Structure 1
């Protein structure tokens, strides 16, 4: 088998696994290079510390995932994940009020990150064209400014070697060294933008109270970035085996602490509503507190570089890392992989200019999620050196009006949800009927409290 028919994917997390799957039908072989030891089942992995926090796969990503791996949704559900209709089974306080639980317009797949990744990893590696090479460190690229020819690796035994390839995909996440690798090849630095809300995350696993059941809704108290105050929020996510994974978070000056004894107090007293803390009163802690500050939105505009080498593509968090509060990272990874597959199918593996076209496709795929995240986070104090632009202020004013309207207009709530689930692009929010509805405002009065059912309140001992 020739080197030119080999694809090498750097990084064995979700973006890397799905990129490997996307390329498998077209490359002679795909090598998946991972620094960590890949576990057999749904176990923690050092290179994915964010797995300890709440994750969800929105329907935009789940639909893409099903096209890449037909039947994988059913296998995830059989392993303990659940399908949750949105906004039907979501109790959410937005900056503009409580959302009603309207009929389904989107959905999310709920599970721990470890379970989701293990199911996908098993599916991808069952393809004989994909081989995982774990406990292997990537040292750099080989080639020139016009074309990448392979990668330099160091194995678990400390020995270094060069792996030649017809395509190299960087899916190494937030810690990607692609800018340094490209500089070594003689290419200019890519444009970069960072918007950091300063959010810190604290997460903990709980045993759900008896009677809560698998159908308990997600509870989401969103922060309000307006007014120059710290934003504080939290998410209670039912996951497999009768557990709740709870993440609380706060921006600069309002951060939670890693102290386990302070976790429930923060949820009850510091958020805009105490519902999550009240629900936790009857739940049993199952873990310590996982804590992180790696939440900045960071985008590298590789697609805009004046020159780009053949045979090299950057995907996932390595090109666009998002604040996890919006839950879009995994969905973007799945949609990117699907777009990569479709483009390679049309153009052919090894076609001239393929890498450049792929990188531009990646740039388009991340755009909606980037705009949604930055359009909110830019309003936190010190998020950027210059503050929000005039365009961002105008956009946020309109989006805010839409969110307010969605608290009492089911059609607009479903349209907004179709965008936040990444099933539709933000342009769909500019349809004439949506503009008119925003001008009119909500059709129903605002709710005065969380829309939990009597059964849900009773299951956790709240009357």
Structure 2
């Protein structure tokens, strides 16, 4: 925030009514007198689609690190999600995952958990938690078109409404949570701040998704996933089934260039059968489709290195997809935004000093570092990837992580080490700790699974579905 004496009342302006924007508002509300969220569209009143979020039709889940951050910012959110039908998934106890190195075991000891729900429900719960605070308001149909101030201090934004003239909105703190459409790089250039570095690493992956009525009770049903392998010939493809509210399965299929999933509903399930294992296709034969197929090609990893800039104006912070977007297959975006909001809250709780928002931006960058290493460290090894090719160090690291992943199919220690990192609770450097190196050297302690591991009750349900199908054939 600005080093000038605090004006009364102090105001924060958040650009974007996304989850990142709502979490940013939650992070700063105790440190200012009012927070105003600028949203270009109308916000739905219930768990319904929000305009400008095309990725909402694809599978989402919250990593453990994100769950903890959201609960810290908005206590009670997890209970509200679960009461509305979201599922808490023990990792890996309630997951049936085929990795490139084999099937992961469903260890009886769960070290982490995921929360699976539709994006619309997650949006709704977070939004409701934030907007019940009278200090937080939303101005819909309003866009920020320019930053006010200079290269030293941002003092607000110039706004434009759908049916009104431009106006200046003064603020002590401006948070850009506008997502992929961010204009902050251009706005900084207008203030004389140049030299912004950026990366884009694009595997070319496309998503096709739809919702199904599950043929089995979804409470307690596992997450199902078949992951792509960079080492196999032909276009990489993958898929997942998440149990969500309303006794539904949310299904996403992914494919690289040369093997993109189809938009045609009749071709959706046949494409699922092209995955490395037919499990998803077999399950979908028993489920009832509820929606059309939705396709997106916006899966690139893109990052702005704001934290590296020599000059950063007081009074400005960028958060969430405005700073970095990730291939959605890794389910990191919401969790990383939540963790960045936690860092912002902690810094604002300290005495105000010059460069506070620059320190906040560096903290956001450190959160991104871990997720970025995970996402791009995988994507660069697909032959269709543009933006970066693996060097010798990348290939050596990939071989080690692949060995550790193979070890994890039969070693609880290796599985926990990997999960700590994937859950955004530990940096990737922990994968080369002495104990983990020894585990990788020893390899799996149990023989590999020959196929998906279902609990007896799950297997009985599936067998019953097969008998019904045979009887009706």
Fold shared by both chains (TM-score > 0.5)? yes
Residue number in structure 2 paired with 1:185: 191
Aligned residues: 459
Residue number in structure 2 paired with 1:141: 147
Q: Secondary structure at the match of 1:330?
A: helix
Higher mean C-alpha deviation, range 51-60 or range 413-422: 413-422
Q: Distance in 1 between matches of 2:165 and 2:150?
A: 24
Q: Distance in 2 between matches of 1:4 and 1:388?
A: 52
Which residue, out of 62, 66, 69, partners 2:71?
Answer: 66
Q: Distance in 2 between matches of 1:302 and 1:250?
A: 32
Question: For the structure 1 residues 118 and 386, does the alpha-carbon distance in structure 2 shift closer, same or farther, using more than 3 Å as the test?
Answer: closer
8 Å CA contact 1:228, 1:380 repeated in 2? no
Q: Secondary structure at the match of 2:350?
A: helix
Question: For the structure 1 residues 386 and 28, does the alpha-carbon distance in structure 2 shift closer, same or farther, using more than 3 Å as the test?
Answer: closer
Which residue, out of 23, 44, 68, partners 1:18?
Answer: 23
Question: For the structure 1 residues 388 and 228, does the alpha-carbon distance in structure 2 shift closer, same or farther, using more than 3 Å as the test?
Answer: farther
Following superposition, which runs of at least 4 residues in structure 1 exceed 4 angstroms of deviation?
1-4
Q: Secondary structure at the match of 1:226?
A: coil
8 Å CA contact 2:63, 2:115 repeated in 1? yes
Please state how far the C-alpha of 1:386 moved relative to its aligned partner: 4.7
Tell me the alpha carbon deviations over residues 68-98 of structure 1, each in whole angstroms, 9 at most, x when there is no partner. 1111111111111121101000000000000
Q: Secondary structure at the match of 1:25?
A: helix
Q: Secondary structure at the match of 2:56?
A: helix
Q: Secondary structure at the match of 1:24?
A: helix
8 Å CA contact 2:256, 2:384 repeated in 1? no
8 Å CA contact 1:170, 1:315 repeated in 2? yes
8 Å CA contact 2:218, 2:243 repeated in 1? no
Residue number in structure 1 paired with 2:133: 127
Q: Secondary structure at the match of 1:107?
A: strand
User: Which runs of 5 or more residues in structure 1 are unaligned?
Assistant: none
Please state how far the C-alpha of 1:330 moved relative to its aligned partner: 0.9
Which residue, out of 222, 227, 245, partners 2:227?
Answer: 222
Question: For the structure 1 residues 29 and 235, does the alpha-carbon distance in structure 2 shift closer, same or farther, using more than 3 Å as the test?
Answer: same
Residue number in structure 2 paired with 1:107: 113
Question: Are residues 1:271 and 2:261 paired?
Answer: no
Which residue, out of 291, 297, 307, partners 2:301?
Answer: 297
Residue number in structure 2 paired with 1:439: 441
Which residue, out of 157, 165, 176, partners 2:171?
Answer: 165
Question: Are residues 1:429 and 2:431 paired?
Answer: yes
Q: If the length of structure 1 is used for normalisation, what is the TM-score?
A: 0.96
8 Å CA contact 1:219, 1:235 repeated in 2? yes
Tell me the alpha carbon deviations over residues 93-127 of structure 1, each in whole angstroms, 9 at most, x when there is no partner. 00000000012011011111100110110000111
Please state how far the C-alpha of 1:389 moved relative to its aligned partner: 2.4
Residue number in structure 2 paired with 1:449: 451
Higher mean C-alpha deviation, range 109-118 or range 141-150: 141-150
Question: Are residues 1:57 and 2:40 paired?
Answer: no
Tell me the alpha carbon deviations over residues 218-263 of structure 1, each in whole angstroms, 9 at most, x when there is no partner. 0010001225632100010010010000000011112101111111
Tell me the alpha carbon deviations over residues 293-331 of structure 1, each in whole angstroms, 9 at most, x when there is no partner. 000001110100121111111110111100000011111
Alignment of 1:233-382 (within 5 A): 233-268=238-273, 270-348=274-352, 351-382=353-384
Question: For the structure 1 residues 385 and 131, does the alpha-carbon distance in structure 2 shift closer, same or farther, using more than 3 Å as the test?
Answer: closer
Q: Distance in 1 between matches of 2:175 and 2:219?
A: 38
Residue number in structure 2 paired with 1:397: 399
Q: If the length of structure 2 is used for normalisation, what is the TM-score?
A: 0.94
Q: Secondary structure at the match of 1:368?
A: helix
Q: Distance in 2 between matches of 1:295 and 1:347?
A: 40
8 Å CA contact 1:221, 1:272 repeated in 2? yes
Please state how far the C-alpha of 1:32 moved relative to its aligned partner: 0.8
Tell me the alpha carbon deviations over residues 155-210 of structure 1, each in whole angstroms, 9 at most, x when there is no partner. 2323211101111111111111111111111110410111100000000000000x
Which residue, out of 201, 207, 218, partners 1:201?
Answer: 207
Question: For the structure 1 residues 257 and 9, does the alpha-carbon distance in structure 2 shift closer, same or farther, using more than 3 Å as the test?
Answer: same
Question: For the structure 1 residues 417 and 23, does the alpha-carbon distance in structure 2 shift closer, same or farther, using more than 3 Å as the test?
Answer: same
Question: For the structure 1 residues 462 and 443, does the alpha-carbon distance in structure 2 shift closer, same or farther, using more than 3 Å as the test?
Answer: farther
Q: Secondary structure at the match of 1:313?
A: strand
Higher mean C-alpha deviation, range 157-166 or range 200-209: 157-166
Q: Distance in 2 between matches of 1:130 and 1:2?
A: 18
Please state how far the C-alpha of 1:3 moved relative to its aligned partner: 7.1
